[in-house]
Structure 1
Amino acid sequence: MMVGSGLSNQVGAAVAALAFPVIGPVGVVAVRQWVAGVVLLAVGRPRWRSFTARQWWPVLALAAVFATMNLSLYSAIQRIGLGLAVTLEFLGPLAVALAGSRRGADLVRALAAAGAVAVLTRPQPSTDYLGIGLALLAAVCWGSYILLNRTVGARLPGAQGSAAAAAVSAALYLPVGAVVLWHHPPSAGALGCALAAGVLSSAVPFLADLLALRRVPAAAFGIFMSVNPVLAALVGMVVLDQRLDWAAWAAIAVIVSANATAVASTARRARRRKNA
């Protein structure tokens, strides 16, 4: 299920890229958010009238993060490719895993990741700095998503908070998506790709992760999530013919290793504190 979730997410992003020439990243993200909103509403069934102000603010913040994260990531994919964009986005969870640590090993991981980023973004005449910046914005959003999800999960039962945030994000994209699709009428193929991206990158991973977390410890799940940049690079190569050089592959391996070991180390420290 974890392999299926990761592959589905990255294949969904690759399929979304096929629709970029027709409706652009904004149009694709709008359709994806609508699909995610419908799916999560059906699963989470939020009780809107019972929400308090203390519950609403993290839900609204999470909705804004949803909207910004997907748009910045898809815009980055259009400019710098799937593998590089997802790898840079993955710095968000890595930063959360390393935040506040004063251990020497975590400092080494942070320095290794910083060196890997320098390799991935090394200045060249063809370097797309806007694309890199958009991917880093997606990283900030993913880190914020993790922190906000903790708050939402603590204040709202089940998947109500995530469902409400997805619904609000989908509503925000209604006027935006309508304008984009009006000015750039989608072909049947482009609309099909956008809908498929919504299912593959939102519905399937959400349900697969939900089922996997019932069988796999959260720490092991977090470690396995580190393989996503590798899956993204492989899917980009197979589906979109986006090939990375050996230095980029080495940098991806360093970032994946840094995240996996950071998550494992955090889990071990949490167990020690619990048993102390």
Structure 2
Amino acid sequence: MVADIFRDNSWAWPSSWRDLFPAINQLDHIRPDQNKQDRLLWKDGDKLIDYSSATVWDTIRVREQEINWVSIVWFPQCIPRHAFLVWLIMRRKLLTRDKILKWDFSRRKNMNMMCCLLCYADVDSHDHLFFECKFSEQVWKSVRDKTDMVDVDPKWVSIIGWLMTRIRSKKASFYVARLLVGATAYTIWQERNARLFKNQTRPPEAICEVILKTVRYKLMGVKFKPCANVKSLLGKWGIDDAAMIDDGG
């Protein structure tokens, strides 16, 4: 506190401080108003603002260009583990086998080390897994009819492109579409890892069942505004009108 260091109308700095910190000698002519409460301030450029950890972080953090696809990944009532995986896909940070094998060129001669464990017909990569692989393509085509994405090509770039054109939409169908994309990508990645690390396999039908159950259970816990479109949408998922709430709006 300032009151602890300013007494009898003068500064009571420890003598050693004046040698260690010469700048404090410039404060001798300053006389604080003892009738005012002390405030801790932070200088951000030319501005003095109340100190907080948030203001310090906002000053020192590295600022990057805002990502335009952020609301496709992170949105209210998303499934966090699915959103995190989609974020990794968008940044192409998943450790697919093509990426791992770049670190060891000698293994590239062995196609078994490169092969997709879902279809055994191509290289394990981001683009292939989501959803150019015959296995994951079959899964995607089986679940996409639950949304308005029936005509979207089974390619990640096409799916993201479709979502981007609707990024400002507040419709329930857009919310469901994002849930479905995340659940499908997450379950495909789970299946790929189960085959790689546990030697466990499931047919496409079982994968589809897991995806649809996951999304349906999530939707059952979400309260939607009542309207005919929402009622029709929930009907596709076998959910009755109880999932809607009238907020008077």
With the shorter chain as reference, the TM-score category is under 0.3
More helix by percentage: 1
More strand by percentage: 2
Q: Which has the larger radius of gyration?
A: 2
TM normalised by structure 2 equals 0.27
TM normalised by structure 1 equals 0.26
